[in-house]
């Protein structure tokens, strides 16, 4: 279970004097909050991407920053930056994050404090993360806070798992408030959620379908689409239906069962009825639009009772939602 940080509140007048404003559209991550009273000055969240999290001391070689152990987790990727006033030390902020991460059950796999131990971490973050893509907002003062404070960095990367077993990676970088600059906090959180798939269709052609039916007696077709809890075939199913029609037109003796399958979400009885109606919808399109004799087609729905993968996660459920042509 993940817990939120809870620290002593800081004076908002310090921010007012420095004209620090919250970044527009940003929001604290539900897995790990800000140091109480800090101001958000950078925010970016994408549904699926790859992060690069140093899990060993960065160093220079041949004028290039190198990291021997660079983690590259993929998933829902959130980057957040905060600043905090100089009446709180970088050590205090970092220790609070360490405590919260420990309470959350995450395992720290790399940590360093101060420049001697962290090596070229300052240069790595400035060149590849903090200063790119306009991530840090708020003008020169905000950038200078991180630039100055990374002369005394504190950093950790931790990993763990959500209750559903999906992986989580967290990287925390704290830049100390040095000279007249505020301190800075960088959070990176990567939640290993399944990538949205089905955005690019790879429809089997009629020849592929014929070969699979000859070899296995059936073929699964994934290019036939329906709205959730609906049985009407969607227009973007045309490519798959055309290949099914071509298959049946080329082999006049082929008779098939059109079998509808669902995942296990929802009531089984409803899924049985839905899969039957979807199979019937496919058969109707083949008879009306591709002139296939209805006597060569038999529609049958089996609902969730013949999965090809586990229904515990979306990639498996997506594979289970399919139409099959089974040779009679």
The β-bridge partners of 233 are 226
Is 200 inside a domain boundary? no
Q: Are 237 and 224 in contact (CB under 8 A)?
A: yes
Question: What is the pLDDT at residue 133?
Answer: 62
The helix/strand/coil state of 14 is helix
> What pTM does this model have?
0.57
Question: What is the pLDDT at residue 258?
Answer: 97
The verdict on 249 and 137 lying in the same domain is no
Show Cβ contacts of residue 66 under 8 Å, excluding neighbours closer than 6 positions: 58, 59, 60
The verdict on 219 and 185 lying in the same domain is no
The β-bridge partners of 312 are none
Is 219 inside a domain boundary? yes
Which residue segment(s) compose the domain that 143 sits in? Answer: 12-191
Is 294 inside a domain boundary? yes
The verdict on 47 and 92 lying in the same domain is yes
Is 7 inside a domain boundary? no
* Continuous segment of H or E residues that includes residue 270: helix 268-289
Is 181 inside a domain boundary? yes
Q: Token digits for 106?
A: 């995450």
pLDDT in tens, 152-187: 899 999 998 876 678 899 999 998 998 888 888 999
Structural domains counted in the chain: 2
Question: What is the pLDDT at residue 233?
Answer: 93
Closest CA to 53 of 153, 170, 132, 193: 170
Question: What is the pLDDT at residue 11?
Answer: 42
The verdict on 27 and 61 lying in the same domain is yes
Residue where a domain terminates, one of 143, 162, 191:
191
Q: Token digits for 289?
A: 């639009």
Question: What is the pLDDT at residue 4?
Answer: 43
Question: Can you say whether residue 221 is alpha, beta or left, with left for phi > 0 and alpha for psi between -120 and 50 degrees?
Answer: beta
The verdict on 141 and 232 lying in the same domain is no
> Residue 235 belongs to a domain with what CATH number?
3.30.1330.60
The verdict on 108 and 186 lying in the same domain is yes
The verdict on 26 and 55 lying in the same domain is yes
- CA distances to 21, 36, 137, 293 from 26, rounded to whole Å, are 11, 16, 11, 58
Residue 144 and residue 181: Cα distance in Å, rounded? 7
The verdict on 184 and 248 lying in the same domain is no
Question: What is the pLDDT at residue 312?
Answer: 83
Residue where a domain terminates, one of 165, 191, 217:
191
Question: What is the pLDDT at residue 10?
Answer: 39
Those residues of the chain that have pLDDT short of 70 are: 1-19, 127-129, 131-134, 137-141, 163-164, 193-203
The β-bridge partners of 108 are 158
Question: What is the pLDDT at residue 181?
Answer: 84
């Amino acid at each position: 279970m993940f817990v939120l940080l809870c620290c002593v509140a800081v004076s908002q007048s310090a921010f007012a004097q420095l004209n620090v404003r919250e970044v527009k559209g940003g929001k604290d991550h539900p897995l790990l909050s800000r140091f109480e009273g800090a101001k958000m000055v950078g925010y970016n969240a994408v549904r699926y991407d790859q992060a690069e999290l140093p899990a060993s001391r960065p160093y220079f070689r041949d004028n290039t920053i190198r990291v021997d152990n660079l983690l590259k987790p993929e998933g829902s990727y959130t980057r957040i930056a905060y600043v905090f006033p100089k009446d709180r030390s970088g050590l205090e902020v970092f220790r609070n994050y360490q405590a919260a991460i420990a309470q959350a059950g995450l395992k720290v796999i790399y940590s360093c404090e101060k420049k001697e131990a962290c090596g070229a971490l300052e240069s790595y973050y400035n060149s590849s993360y903090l200063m790119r893509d306009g991530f840090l907002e708020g003008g020169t003062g905000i950038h200078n806070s991180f630039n100055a404070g990374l002369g005394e960095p504190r950093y950790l990367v931790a990993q763990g798992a959500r209750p559903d077993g999906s992986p989580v990676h967290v990287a925390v970088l704290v830049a100390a408030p040095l000279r007249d600059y505020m301190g800075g906090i960088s959070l990176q959180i990567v939640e290993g959620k399944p990538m949205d798939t089905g955005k690019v269709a790879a429809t089997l052609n009629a020849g592929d379908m014929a070969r699979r039916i000859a070899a296995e007696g059936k073929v699964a077709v994934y290019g036939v689409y329906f709205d959730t809890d609906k049985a009407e075939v969607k227009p973007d199913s045309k490519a798959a239906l055309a290949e099914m029609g071509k298959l049946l037109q080329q082999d006049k003796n082929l008779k098939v069962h059109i079998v509808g399958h669902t995942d296990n979400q929802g009531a089984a009885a409803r899924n049985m009825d839905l899969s039957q109606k979807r199979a019937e919808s496919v058969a109707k399109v083949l008879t009306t639009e591709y002139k296939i004799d209805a006597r060569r087609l038999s529609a049958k729905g089996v609902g969730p009772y013949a999965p090809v993968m586990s229904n515990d996660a979306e990639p498996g459920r997506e594979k289970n939602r399919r139409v099959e042509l089974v040779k009679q």
